[in-house]
Amino acid sequence: MGANILVVDDQPEMRFLIAANLRRLFNFQIVETDSVQSAIKHLQSAKFELIVSDLIMPNGSGIDLFNYVEENPEFDGHFILFTSAVDRVPPDDKERVIVIDKRHMPELLSAIEFLGLNNGR
């Protein structure tokens, strides 16, 4: 069985696309959610090796979620900000988190391979 991955995006089509690719290519166990608040609830009840999050969502941002996991040492996984608003990520945050443009799904897949999470293949 592959790694547990949390996919956070308010757009159902994008969540589906990300989750379907990760399941098909890496055999990951995927939990999908549409908000920062829901993601935090999932993080409080399960362990994830990776979070793939959108940046801009109603009622919270991917940076808010990243700040939450940074402040909670029980999360020891990886975090990728997968967004179409790369230019809206503050420069300081770009140094703290992996940022990948949504228009480049192959870059997301390459980053996952680079992180060594593709062992379930």
Does residue 120 carry a pLDDT above 80?
A: no
Question: How many alpha carbons lie under 13 Å from residue 1 in its C-beta half-sphere?
Answer: 5
Q: For the structural domain made of 4-67+83-102, what CATH number should be given?
A: 3.40.50.2300
**Among 15, 17, 18, 13, which Cα is nearest to 38's?**
15
Q: Are 63 and 76 in contact (CB under 8 A)?
A: no
Q: Compare 42 and 88 and report the one with higher pLDDT.
A: 42
What residue ranges do the domains of the chain occupy?
4-67+83-102
pLDDT tens-digit series, residues 26-62: 999 999 999 999 999 999 999 999 999 999 999 999 9
pLDDT average, residue stretch 14-28: 94
Q: Are 71 and 64 in contact (CB under 8 A)?
A: no
Q: Amino acid identity, residue 34?
A: D
Average pLDDT, the chain: 92
